[in-house]
Amino acid sequence: MFNSSMILAILPEILLLLLGLLILILDIVLKGKDGRNLGWVAAGGLLFILVLNVFLAKPTMPTDVFGGMIRYDMLGYVFKMLFIFGAMLTSLFMMDSEKLGNRGESYILLLVATIGMNLMASATDLIMLYLAIETTSIPMYILAGFMRDDKKSTEAGLKYLLFGAMASTVMLYGFSLIFGFTGTTALGAISGFSLPLALGVIVLILVGIAFKISLAPFHFWAPDVYEGAPTPITGFLSTASKAAGFAVLMRLFIGLFPPASAYAPSWTLIMAVLATITMTVGNVVALSQSNIKRMLAYSSIAHAGYALVGVVSLSELGVGSVTFYLIAYVLTNLAAFGIIAAFSKVTGSEKISDFAGMSRRNSGLALAMLVAFLSLTGMPPFGGFVAKVFVFAAAVKADMVWLAIVGILNSIVGLYYYLTVLKVVYLHRMEGENEEAHPIPLSRPYAIALSVLSAGILLIGIIFGPWFNIASSAAAGLF
Amino acid sequence: MTFPILSVIIFSPIVGALILLLMPAERKTEIRVVALMTATFALILSFWVYLNYDQVAAGYQFIEKYAWMPQLGISLHLGVDGISTPLLLLTGVVMFTGVIISWGIDDRPREFFAFLFLLASGVFGVFVALDLFMLFFFYEIAVFPMYLLIAIWGWVKTREYAAMKLTLYLFIGSVVALIGALAMYFNSGFETFNMLVLETANFSPEFQKIWFLPVFLGFAVLGGIWPFHNWSPDGHVAAPTAVSMFHAGVLMKLGAFAALRVGIMLLPEGAKFWAPLILMLATVNVVYGAFIAMIQKDLKYMIGFSSVSHMGLVMLGFATLTKAGMTGAGVQMFSHGVMTALFFAATGMVYDRAHTRQIPELGGMMKPLPWVGVTFIIGGLVSMGMPGFSGFVAEFPIFMGVWQVKPWVAILAVISIVITAAYIMLAIRRTFFGEMPKELEGHITPISAMDKVALGLLSGLMIALGVFPSIMVPMVETGIENVLRLLGGA
């Protein structure tokens, strides 16, 4: 029957849908004028949804609702709040993005994608899960190719669509095998695979998810799409969308093949190998990039690898630390892409060498960049440090010291290219120009969003206890 | 609730840095004054701690403990013992003199002092942390600002290269040690990062043998141990004066200190097993560093390699695992810190006027810069280990300790003293005496009164410690006795 927990379980999604409708109506009423202000509406609305849900919709007991389609638990809740937060800042970044910020559709697409992610994080039925993934992906395909006149953006959209469709077909095939052999699509009821079948299913599903979270060797789309898509969208794609993929990965795999089962060793091994390849490929290729968006694309591939280390350790600490890692990563990478959006809006360039003299052109923006990049590197007192320590700690605890060592070697490579960018920002000068004559003005949405993110990165990095509590309570539901 | 003096010491530089960042960049004089006030405050507090450390009671004092993340056993747990108290004072002194020496920095002084203070906070934090996690936290904070300080304000020719090299070396070292620390955390079964508890963990000898080396060497990279010392002379040379002072004076001690606190104190069995190897490496440091220093033409490179040599003595002292050797090493950390800070300060003053650090291109500096000359000579005497100066108080027990363990190593290592004497005296003669080159004449302006305060303070400390060893040695001994207790009363 219908009860209050059913409403609470999808309260964020209901509100997101209402917000989307509101923007749609406003867009029609305004007839395309003052479209930029819709960004304020979207961001304000998302903030309201976030606050409301933090106070109202926090689950106490995990409950299956809607006939077992979705589960109302802490894991879903934490990720939902993270997505809404990410969408809120993304809509601020979108406001001053050319051709994106003054169109109502772009905000609506963002909201729909967020609804899809929310459902991804809480789906416990294969069909529901598939629908949620598509609900997320389709708006993202459009957003990636939103700038129709821009060749790169169109290419990004099309590429993302083709690769994405391919990956989800493969994953769907994996789902169909599960259904065929066990007769059910409900996550909790699936059981009794033979080992070879399980392996087949694992590989097929993994292809779909690995595409979403851009694990090597399924990462080829990422650099092109990240580079071509409008920068705020890239930020969203690389953070919230990736986090949603991880939520699915953890729920699905730990649900289907729990740690105690006979399948666990094989899939953790597969993932450990994937994590190793992903970290290494991401970091090593990032070294040679001259376009900052491509560099961050490879860096975000590498970060998926670090986070996967936590999943592999297959423990409550591991999942908790992945969740914590993703929280820190979402803040950090959103900030990084936001800064790039702000910078390239003024300069029209995304080349790393054009960041020369940035600290003299806008010292605040440079400071934000320092914070974001050091957090990506994993330096205290920023969020990235604690996150990395926890993930590696989980690996050491699971007796996978070698994986932690691989991770550490990789962070050293990472340190090198992040520092190289900071060096350009702080040390190099613009050639033959006086930097003071070329300031980089920050519009209000950028200033607000970047301050919030920088403060958040510091907050998570210093007072990490409460955040880790939240992350581990999300993990607890899975075990 | 007593006054939380240690956390005030750690956080006051950060507060200073924040105040600086909020000030308008063009008010340079005010910025310098605020920086000096912050540094003075930290110096006074650390001196107060030094004076009030109760040597009779010994052990950890001024303890503060705040739960930070109880579910993983992380707490902000601070306290000082006989080893860290002098180092706290050292940091205060170097920070204070560093700010004075950097008075003339004109390129973005606001950011310079802010980063310098962030670094100082990290250093204070490592010295007083009793929680392994917090130790790493502060350690990394101390390492990073170095990159910017060297890369932005350093010597144009090598700064980018040196800064990157230094950061990569130190980062690698620290993360390797971090894995060891995590292994300890999980292996102990206590679910806590509290080092006082981990000391009682009784790790199995196999575990200790495996993990001692990564942990000790990971930290010792920052202590400049051979063959991982390569970053250090390059870093010293490229860094601006105040940063060189911090770097050689304090930061290298950070490595040695953490290697002692985490490596030897938490993994004593491992330390006993690997001590001969560390002894060998440190001997190479001592002798090889001295030889390389001798052939340097650049004054700063010479001091850089002499630091490698002297830090080798610290490691050598630790590796003896004897009371004499380790006490000497503890005092050497302080003595060398002050001495190198003085050397770099003096060299910086010469360079600012002569615009060269090549020893053959200098000469006759004694006349225009008597303060610099005299204090440099005092530093030289300390460096040679002359009785009556702090170097003797530190080095003599180290050699005694080494003699107890491996007499032939002591003989080998003592050679370094002769070489040190040779290169120091050569440098002094060529730089401060003899004929001043024609092109320098008239360019050598006198140093300011503030510079004199810095030089006077640093050399005064070395003489005071040399004449009255009792102001520090017994305190360090109390700390070392605790280490020996963990080593099983050897």
Roughly how many angstroms between the first and final C-alpha of chain B, as a whole number? 38
Note the pLDDT tens digit of each residue in B71-103: 788 888 888 888 899 999 999 999 898 888 888
Measured in angstroms, the CA of B215 and the nearest CA of chain A are apart by: 13
Q: Cβ separation of B179 and A423 shorter than 8 Å?
A: no
Tell me the C-alpha to C-alpha distance, in Å, between residue A113 and each of A106, B348, B407.
11, 59, 74
**What is the residue-averaged pLDDT of chain A?**
88
Q: Cβ separation of B168 and A408 shorter than 8 Å?
A: no
- Taking every pair of Cα atoms in chain A, the longest distance, rounded to a whole number of angstroms, is 73
Burial zone of A1 (CB within 10 Å; 0-12 exposed, 13-18 middle, 19+ buried): exposed
Residue A160: its pLDDT value, please? 92
With CA atoms as reference, the chain B residue closest to A390 would be: B182
Q: In the predicted model, is pLDDT for residue A234 greater than 90?
A: yes
Q: Which of B25, B67, B179 sits opposite A392 (nearest CB)?
A: B179
Element housing B285 (H / E): helix B268-294
Per-residue pLDDT, averaged over A94-100, amounts to 84
Residue A1: its pLDDT value, please? 55
Residue B489: its pLDDT value, please? 56
Residue among B171, B184, B190 with most chain A CBs within 10 A, to mutate: B171
Residue B4 makes CB contacts below 8 A (sequence gap 6+) with B64
Measured in angstroms, the CA of A71 and the nearest CA of chain B are apart by: 27
Q: Cβ separation of A381 and B175 shorter than 8 Å?
A: no
Residue A233: its pLDDT value, please? 93
| A415 at B interface, C-beta within 8 A | yes
With CA atoms as reference, the chain B residue closest to A370 would be: B148
Note the pLDDT tens digit of each residue in A240-253: 999 999 999 998 88
Residue B164: its pLDDT value, please? 85
C-alpha B161/C-alpha B228 separation (Å) is 17
Q: Domain extents for chain A?
A: 1-257, 260-479
Residue, of A256 and B40, whose pLDDT is higher: B40
- How much is the CA Rg of chain B, to the nearest whole Å? 21
Q: Which of B144, B148, B176 sits opposite A426 (nearest CB)?
A: B148
Q: Cβ separation of B164 and A419 shorter than 8 Å?
A: yes
Q: Cβ separation of A392 and B182 shorter than 8 Å?
A: yes
Per-residue pLDDT, averaged over A411-439, amounts to 84
C-alpha A425/C-alpha A343 separation (Å) is 12
The band of A89, judged by pLDDT with boundaries at 50, 70 and 90, is: very high
Residue among A375, A412, A469 with most chain B CBs within 10 A, to mutate: A412
Per-residue pLDDT, averaged over B236-254, amounts to 85
Per-residue pLDDT, averaged over B340-367, amounts to 83
Residue A448: its pLDDT value, please? 93
Q: Cβ separation of B72 and A389 shorter than 8 Å?
A: no
| A429 at B interface, C-beta within 8 A | no
What residues are paired with B61 via a beta bridge? B80
Residue A298: its pLDDT value, please? 93
Q: Cβ separation of B74 and A465 shorter than 8 Å?
A: yes
Q: Which of B144, B148, B175 sits opposite A411 (nearest CB)?
A: B175
Q: Cβ separation of A393 and B185 shorter than 8 Å?
A: yes
Q: In the predicted model, is pLDDT for residue A290 greater than 60?
A: yes
Residue B393 one-letter amino acid: V
Measured in angstroms, the CA of B261 and the nearest CA of chain A are apart by: 20
* DSSP per position, B322-341: SHHHHHHHHHHHHHHHHHHH
Per-residue pLDDT, averaged over B303-316, amounts to 89
Note the pLDDT tens digit of each residue in B105-120: 777 788 888 888 988 9
- Which residues of B are less than 8 Å from A385 in CB distance? 137, 140
Tell me the C-alpha to C-alpha distance, in Å, between residue B26 and each of A92, A181, A362, A462, B153.
32, 74, 15, 31, 18
The band of A140, judged by pLDDT with boundaries at 50, 70 and 90, is: very high
- Which residues of B are less than 8 Å from A405 in CB distance? 179
Q: In the predicted model, is pLDDT for residue B318 greater than 50?
A: yes
Percent of chain B surpassing pLDDT 70: 99
C-alpha B56/C-alpha A448 separation (Å) is 56
Percent of chain A surpassing pLDDT 70: 99
Per-residue pLDDT, averaged over B20-42, amounts to 84
Measured in angstroms, the CA of A401 and the nearest CA of chain B are apart by: 8
Q: Cβ separation of A408 and B179 shorter than 8 Å?
A: yes
Q: Cβ separation of B182 and A393 shorter than 8 Å?
A: yes
**What is the residue-averaged pLDDT of chain B?**
86
Q: Cβ separation of B168 and A416 shorter than 8 Å?
A: yes
The band of B189, judged by pLDDT with boundaries at 50, 70 and 90, is: confident
Q: In the predicted model, is pLDDT for residue B490 greater than 50?
A: no
Per-residue pLDDT, averaged over A347-353, amounts to 87
Residue A86: its pLDDT value, please? 95
pTM (2 d.p.): 0.89
Beta-carbon count within 10 A of A209 CB: 20
| A397 at B interface, C-beta within 8 A | yes
With CA atoms as reference, the chain B residue closest to A385 would be: B137
Peptide bond into A439 cis (omega under 30): no
C-alpha B21/C-alpha B15 separation (Å) is 10
Residue B484: its pLDDT value, please? 85
| A408 at B interface, C-beta within 8 A | yes
Q: Which of B152, B171, B186 sits opposite A415 (nearest CB)?
A: B171
Q: Cβ separation of A423 and B151 shorter than 8 Å?
A: yes
Measured in angstroms, the CA of A373 and the nearest CA of chain B are apart by: 12
C-alpha A25/C-alpha A47 separation (Å) is 20
Q: Domain extents for chain B?
A: 5-486
Residue A440: its pLDDT value, please? 85
Per-residue pLDDT, averaged over A388-393, amounts to 89
**CA atoms B422, B424, B425, B426: torsion sign:** positive
Q: In the predicted model, is pLDDT for residue B25 greater than 80?
A: no
Residue A431 makes CB contacts below 8 A (sequence gap 6+) with A356
Measured in angstroms, the CA of B25 and the nearest CA of chain A are apart by: 10
| A416 at B interface, C-beta within 8 A | yes
**Which residue's entry shows tokens 């020369």?**
A356
Note the pLDDT tens digit of each residue in A120-138: 999 999 999 999 999 999 9
The band of B482, judged by pLDDT with boundaries at 50, 70 and 90, is: confident
Residue A131: its pLDDT value, please? 94
What residues are paired with B131 via a beta bridge? B194
Q: Cβ separation of B71 and A411 shorter than 8 Å?
A: no
Residue B390: its pLDDT value, please? 87
Q: Which of A381, A392, A419 sits opposite B167 (nearest CB)?
A: A419
Q: Cβ separation of A401 and B183 shorter than 8 Å?
A: yes
* Number of A–B residue contacts, CB under 8 Å: 75
Per-residue pLDDT, averaged over A154-159, amounts to 92
- Using alpha carbons only, give the angle B273, B336, B461 rounded to the nearest 5 degrees: 135
- Which residues of A are less than 8 Å from B144 in CB distance? 374, 379
The band of A400, judged by pLDDT with boundaries at 50, 70 and 90, is: confident
Residue A161: its pLDDT value, please? 93
Residue B368: its pLDDT value, please? 81
The band of A13, judged by pLDDT with boundaries at 50, 70 and 90, is: very high
Q: In the predicted model, is pLDDT for residue B394 greater than 70?
A: yes
With CA atoms as reference, the chain A residue closest to B68 would be: A465
Per-residue pLDDT, averaged over A55-78, amounts to 86
Q: Which of B72, B140, B168 sits opposite A379 (nearest CB)?
A: B140
Phi, psi of B65 (to 5 degrees): -145, 120
Least confident of A109-113, A175-179, A426-430, B50-54: A426-430
- Which residues of B are less than 8 Å from A472 in CB distance? 71
Q: Cβ separation of A427 and B175 shorter than 8 Å?
A: no
Q: In the predicted model, is pLDDT for residue B289 greater than 70?
A: yes
C-alpha B112/C-alpha B106 separation (Å) is 10
Q: Cβ separation of B175 and A412 shorter than 8 Å?
A: yes
Q: Which of A404, A427, A465 sits opposite B69 (nearest CB)?
A: A465
- How much is the CA Rg of chain A, to the nearest whole Å? 21
Measured in angstroms, the CA of B426 and the nearest CA of chain A are apart by: 37
Q: In the predicted model, is pLDDT for residue A432 greater than 80?
A: no
C-alpha A160/C-alpha A99 separation (Å) is 20
- Which residues of A are less than 8 Å from B68 in CB distance? 465
The band of A32, judged by pLDDT with boundaries at 50, 70 and 90, is: low
Which residues of B fall below an 8 Å CB-CB distance to A? Answer: 25, 67-72, 74, 133, 136-138, 140-141, 144, 147-148, 151-152, 160, 164, 167-168, 171-172, 175-176, 178-179, 182-183, 185-186
The band of A2, judged by pLDDT with boundaries at 50, 70 and 90, is: low
Side-chain half-sphere exposure of B340, counting CA atoms within 13 A = 35
With CA atoms as reference, the chain A residue closest to B188 would be: A397
Percent of chain B surpassing pLDDT 90: 5
Q: In the predicted model, is pLDDT for residue A313 greater than 50?
A: yes
Note the pLDDT tens digit of each residue in B143-186: 888 888 888 888 777 888 888 888 888 888 888 888 888 888 88
DSSP E strand boundaries for A93-175? none
